[in-house]
Amino acid sequence: MALITLTTDIGTQDYMVGAIKGQLLMVNPASKIIDVTHTLNPFNYPQAAYISKNILKNYPEGTFHLVLVDMFDKNPDFVLIARHNGQYIGIPDNGLIKMILDESPKEYVAVHLKDSEPKNTITCVHALANALHQIENGKALEEVGEPNVEIEEKNSLRPIVNANSIEGQILFVDRFENVVINITKEEFEENRKGRPFKIYCTRGEPIDKISETYGDVPMSDKLALFNTAGYLEIAVNKGNAAGLFGLERFRDPRPDDNRNRILYQTVRIFFE
């Protein structure tokens, strides 16, 4: 029985998620399909990479992960299947795979789309479903597609590190409006070197300690902790960090962005 996770930016307003599941089940009715999320911010690669890399950490070998984000960054001739730590990732050729793995994929193939079929989400998913089913039935990765094809690669959003500071960007705002920063515990400790620190996320008072849980501070106080994925998180105990402090996920500025309110997209840590 194939275990398949679905992570997309498609949303749930129309039939498309149901149609994707139908395509997977037509190829293999025994598949067990797990929804991770379908409400990723459209075209937000850092957010999609953050979610996807942490899903990979929590599933067993042999799991198939479909990451359907920005499906048509370009007119596709093929979709990709990569193998990483015994798991498989089906994904469009849009550069996201490198951001998920934090490196170029070592094992991958291009699954070519048929010229006779329209290039849309359904045909892409059907091609991935057929290839994944063949792998489940014992075919080697290189037998279900073409290896050594040149693919798109995008680099992860990295914090800016100096001798006495780190500047991180907001990757993700969760349902409770806790704010996840692209600084891992390992990066923090490596650059801290045991020194005291102050975390600035707004013009207010800085945070100068790392909490273990949200309950380590009084209700409505702000705090910093490292979440279960190992990333720095800014939160308010039983409050709304993103809304209270005007924090928003990092994104490229757009020419038509003329909002009046101040939005902070970076967090700075100074070491003393």
Query: Residue 256 pLDDT more than 70?
Result: no
The number of folded domains in the chain is: 2
Query: CA–CA separation, 263 vs 91, rounded Å?
Result: 32
Query: Residue 252 pLDDT more than 60?
Result: no
The CATH number of whichever domain residue 254 belongs to comes to 2.40.30.90
Domain interval for residue 185: 160-271
Confidence class of residue 246 from pLDDT cuts 50, 70 and 90?
low
131 and 212 fall within a common domain: no
- CA 258 from chain centre, in angstroms, equals 28
Average pLDDT value over all residues in the chain: 90
Average pLDDT over residues 177-185: 93
Lowest-pLDDT choice from 26-30, 118-122, 191-195, 258-262: 258-262
Query: Residue 8 pLDDT more than 80?
Result: yes
139 and 165 fall within a common domain: no
Query: What pTM value is reported for the model?
Result: 0.86
pLDDT given for residue 170 in this prediction:
87
Classify residue 153: in a domain, yes or no: no
Residue 211 CB: number of other CB atoms within 10 A? 18
138 and 9 fall within a common domain: yes
Query: Residue 134 pLDDT more than 80?
Result: yes
Confidence class of residue 181 from pLDDT cuts 50, 70 and 90?
very high
Joined together, the tokens standing for residue 208 give 């100068």
Classify residue 81: in a domain, yes or no: yes
Classify residue 264: in a domain, yes or no: yes
Which of 143, 178, 207 marks a domain boundary? 143
Average pLDDT over residues 180-190: 95
110 and 200 fall within a common domain: no
pLDDT given for residue 175 in this prediction:
86
220 and 129 fall within a common domain: no
Q: Are 221 and 236 in contact (CB under 8 A)?
A: yes
Confidence class of residue 266 from pLDDT cuts 50, 70 and 90?
confident
pLDDT tens digits, residue range 155-176? Answer: 988 999 999 999 999 888 888 8
pLDDT given for residue 38 in this prediction:
97
pLDDT tens digits, residue range 89-117? Answer: 999 999 999 999 999 999 999 999 998 88
127 and 165 fall within a common domain: no
Average pLDDT over residues 34-44: 94
Query: Residue 261 pLDDT more than 70?
Result: no
18 and 72 fall within a common domain: yes
Half-sphere exposure of 7 (CA within 13 A, CB side): 28
pLDDT given for residue 247 in this prediction:
67
Per the rule left: phi > 0, alpha: psi between -120 and 50, beta: everything else, 146 is beta
Confidence class of residue 248 from pLDDT cuts 50, 70 and 90?
low
Query: CA–CA separation, 221 vs 240, rounded Å?
Result: 10
Which of 117, 143, 169 marks a domain boundary? 143
Classify residue 150: in a domain, yes or no: no
The CATH number of whichever domain residue 20 belongs to comes to 3.40.50.10790
- CA 89 from chain centre, in angstroms, equals 13
Classify residue 68: in a domain, yes or no: yes
Joined together, the tokens standing for residue 210 give 């790392």
